[in-house]
Copies of this chain bind each other. A is one copy, B any other.
Amino acid sequence: MAPGSRITAAIADRVRELASDRYAGRSVEIFFHPQCFQSSGHFAGDDSVRAQAFLDIANDEDFAALWFARGGYGACRIAEEMIPRLSDAARSKVYLGYSDAGSLLAALYKSGVAGLAHGPMPVDITRESGDAAVERALAYLIDRAPHALEASVSPETCTAAFNMAVLSQILGTPLQPDLAGHVLMLEEVSEHLYRIDRMLFHITGNPGIGRVAGIRLGRCSNIPANEPEFGQTEEEIVRHWCGKSGIPYLGRADIGHDVDNKVVPFGRLPATT
C-alpha cells in the first residue's frame, strides 16, 4: 500500500514482472492494493482510504509482509490512528520502506512491532538501474538475504534509519520512537545544506535523540545550490552537531534516495541460528 503519494499501475506491473522472473519456481506473490493507484489531491487516496488500505494488508495474516509502495508525503497523517487498530497478524509482519514511510515505521516501532526495516520500495524501479534496488528489497523480504543489509548492521547493534526531514518532523509528536542505544542512520535528498544544518540542529538537540548510541550519515543527494556557498559539506555539518550535542559520529552509512540504498532493520538483527 502507498501511505503517502500514489504510484502508477505500470510501476506495479514492472515490479511484479521482475519478481516472477527472479523468483520463478517459488511461490512469491506481490499484491498491490488498488489504493496505490488512487488519487486525492496530493495523496494516494484520502486519509481514510490510505488508512484502510494499510489495515487491509497489515491485519491480514495471509500477507507475510507489508511493502510500502512509495514515499512522497502523507504517512504522518494516518500513522497515529493505525496503532490501536493493529491485529496480532499486523504485529508479527515485516514492513519495508523509507522516506515519508518512515513516519509509519516510527509509529509501529514505538508500539513494539519488531519486523521493521528501512529500505527500497517498488517506486525505486523507476530510477536508472532501479531493478537493483527492487531486487535488494525482494531479497530481504523473501529470504532476509544478508547481502541486502547495510554493512554495519549486525546482531550486536541496535539500528534505525530515517530521512532527516521525516525524523525531524515527528520529533515531539506521538510518533517519536525511543531510539536510546540505537545507531541512527540519516539520509537526505533535495534539501539545501542550510536546511540540513537546521534539521541536524533540531534532531541532535532533541533529548530523546541525545540518547542514541551514535549517528551514521547516509547519502545526501540532489542538494540544490546554496546561495551563497554554505561553506561546509554535509559530513562536516553532522560532525559539528554531533560534537556540540555529545552524540558520537560513527561515519557514513550506505543508505540514500538511490539504487544503492541498503536495508536497515529497526532494532537488533536476530542472531543467525
- Report if A202 contacts B (CB, 8 A): yes
- Report if A48 contacts B (CB, 8 A): no
- Report if A52 contacts B (CB, 8 A): no
Q: Is B228 a contact partner of A42 (Cβ separation < 8 A)? A: yes
Which residue of B193, B201, B226 contacts A76 across the interface (Cβ within 8 Å)?
B201
Q: How many copies does the complex hold?
A: 2
Which residue of B42, B201, B228 contacts A173 across the interface (Cβ within 8 Å)?
B201
Task: Name the B residues within 8 Å of A77 (CB-CB).
Answer: 197, 201
Q: Is A194 a contact partner of B230 (Cβ separation < 8 A)? A: no
Cα separation A171 to B168 with both chains bound (whole Å):
10
Q: By the criterion of a CB under 8 Å from any partner CB, how many residues of chain A are at the interface? A: 36
Task: Name the B residues within 8 Å of A201 (CB-CB).
Answer: 76-77, 169, 173
Task: Name the B residues within 8 Å of A172 (CB-CB).
Answer: 171-172, 202, 205-208
Q: Chain B residue with minimal CB distance to A241?
A: B77
Task: Name the B residues within 8 Å of A165 (CB-CB).
Answer: 198
Task: Name the B residues within 8 Å of A168 (CB-CB).
Answer: 168-169, 202
- Report if A129 contacts B (CB, 8 A): no
- Report if A73 contacts B (CB, 8 A): yes
Decide if the interface of chain A is mainly helix, strand, loop or mixed. Answer: loop
Q: Is A194 a contact partner of B42 (Cβ separation < 8 A)? A: yes
- Report if A222 contacts B (CB, 8 A): no
Q: Chain B residue with minimal CB distance to A79?
A: B201
Q: Chain B residue with minimal CB distance to A245?
A: B173
Binary contact track A169-180/B, C-beta < 8 Å → 1, others 0: 111111100000
**25 A-B pairs whose Cβ atoms sit less than 8 Å apart in the complex:** A39-B228, A40-B231, A41-B230, A41-B232, A42-B193, A42-B197, A43-B231, A73-B194, A73-B195, A73-B197, A73-B198, A76-B201, A77-B201, A165-B198, A168-B169, A169-B198, A169-B201, A169-B202, A171-B171, A171-B172, A171-B202, A172-B205, A173-B201, A173-B205, A174-B205
Binding site for B on A (CB under 8 A): 39-43, 72-73, 76-77, 165, 168-175, 193-195, 197-199, 201-202, 205-208, 226, 228-232
* Contacts beyond the supplied A73-B194, A172-B206: 18 A-B pairs with Cβ under 8 Å: A39-B228, A40-B231, A41-B229, A42-B193, A42-B194, A42-B229, A42-B230, A72-B194, A73-B195, A73-B197, A76-B201, A77-B197, A165-B198, A170-B202, A171-B172, A172-B172, A173-B205, A174-B205
